[in-house]
Structure 1
Amino acid sequence: MEGAPFWSLIASASLALGMGAGLVAKSVHAAPTTAGIDTTLVREALKLRLPKTRIGAIDCGRFGGLCEVVAGTTLFYVDRNARYLMIGRLYDMEARSDLTATRLLELNPDLLAAGAAGRRDDEEAKPSAATQAAAKVDLATLPAGGAIHWGPANGPRLVILSDFHCGYCRKLAGELARMGARVEERPISIFGAESRKLAEAVLCAPDPAAAAHAAYAGQPVVPGKTCDVSGLDANEAFARKHGFGGTPVIIRADGAVLQGFHTAEQLKAFVAGGRA
């Protein structure tokens, strides 16, 4: 079965499988350390079993009895003898983070892998490829609500579609602060109900800007009084309308769109009217 169809299946499964299919990382961490495993032997075993697959990086030192294997833009896990192969998500229960999603974003920042990682529980699933992502949008269609403003008032304006559980959104926030941008952050719930709950807490916090930074830092966010969160629905409708299935999405004042993580230097070039 090895070949393009096989790895298409792996790629889609790696992105789409939810927590029910994930491996509980806390149990993995309890296993004996494998930092001393010779990855050369793992690579040789994989060559025998998957001769048509170009194997990239192999990491056997972080996940107990599992080795993380990169094959192009896909990701899977094998045991130390490369006999068993696992397609799915690896979760760190202590850090409450999706390790697979974070790694996939590192491998595929422009593919916005997070978009396939989860949706709101009540949202109808639709193929993300059905809508071509827009290269330019009309920001005037967004309501005043649903936005969290931070950064210097005189900084270059950028609108960011984000999810506080998105690792690359967190990294992007640091770059935006470094370039002194005036950020209009509009959360969308890429990672499902928990993302929506956190977005509502941030939006309704006494100081939404401080709450946003706390959320990215993994600190608890205590919501204030109940507030109007209909703007979050508008953010998500806006994202769906324009084919944005993942985060981060960066939008310039004139509506030009830049997807994925970018450095402060790249963002400055984008703001100036060029390509990042």
Structure 2
Amino acid sequence: MKRFSRLAALVVVIAATALGCSAKADQTTDKLKATLQSRIGDDATIKSISKSPIPGLYEVNLGTEIVYSDANGDYLFIGDIVDAKSRKNLTQARMTEINRIDFASLPFANAVKVVKGDGSRKIAVFSDPNCPYCHQLENTLKTMDNVTVYTFLYPVLSPDSTVKSKAIWCSPDRAKAWESWMLDRHAPTAAGTCNTAAIDSNLALGQAMKVDGTPTVFLADGRRLPGAVSGDQLNKAMNEATH
């Protein structure tokens, strides 16, 4: 995950004094946000600031990354917080929550829909037709049953990705055209021109949701799984999201 340049140059200091905050500190997040934003400038946009599990240390949400700050914004702490007893990565857990979406609000009319079995488990996938890991994920999905897959065509790799996405979208049977290309490498051929505004909408949506790689899977409970996850991992996650 990218780290902004200037922050990487800051000295990371873990000071004992930063861990003992006053009761007032948790009422100063707006001030802290303004202070930190002015100090880091355009290198990152602070989405929110909240208290961390450690007294006196504040969680700074940068959208794609979490860092930590003392109450005054004098020091930044870059790294993960791990619960020593449970060994749970608390930073990673928070990122999962921060990036959780409202699955039901996705514009499914803009997706290629494939139903396997009873379709009871649902996922949404942002996928580029020229992405090798997307092909890998499709081969994994081929082995699964009882799942509805909404594929949002997300051509970000090359101009040819856009050409293929439009051809798939304009095909008489989008699902068949998508699977034929992704599984068997049969190039899509559109029956004619059609309205491809859905693809532009998908690009805007993905950018707004910080989808910075393909494939990105969203589960029915709003969690995201980046990359071509394994079949076991995906099955487990889908089952968890359904119950």
Question: TM class by shorter-chain length?
Answer: 0.5 to 0.7
Alignment partner of 1:135 is 2:102? no
Distance 1:241 1:138 in 2: 13
Q: Which contiguous aligned blocks of 4+ residues in structure 1 show a shift greater than 6 angstroms?
A: 127-130
Q: Which residue of 208, 220, 227 maps to 2:187?
A: 220
Distance 2:210 2:217 in 1: 14
Deviation track 1:188-223 (CA, whole Å, cap 9, x = no partner) reads 112122111111110110111111022213222110
Paired residues for 1:1-276 under 5 Å: 131-132=63-64, 135-152=99-116, 154-155=118-119, 156-180=121-145, 181-216=147-182, 217-273=184-240
Residue 179 of structure 1 aligns to a residue in which SS? coil
> Which has the larger Rg?
2
Deviation track 1:244-274 (CA, whole Å, cap 9, x = no partner) reads 1110001111211111111221111101227
- For structure 2, the residue ranges without an aligned partner over 5 or more in a row are 1-42, 46-61, 66-97
* TM-score, L = length of structure 1: 0.49
Whether contact under 8 Å (2:127, 2:151) holds in the other structure is yes
Calculate the aligned-residue CA RMSD, in Å: 2.8
Q: Are the structure 2 counterparts of residues 193 and 166 from structure 1 closer, same or farther at C-alpha, using a change threshold of 3 Å? A: same
Distance 1:207 1:232 in 2: 16
The residue aligned with 2:12 is none
Residue 164 of structure 1 aligns to a residue in which SS? coil
- For structure 1, the residue ranges without an aligned partner over 5 or more in a row are 1-126
* TM-score, L = length of structure 2: 0.56
**AA partner of residue 194 (structure 2):** C
Distance 1:162 1:128 in 2: 26
Distance 1:144 1:221 in 2: 21
**AA partner of residue 142 (structure 2):** A
Shift of 1:144: 3.7
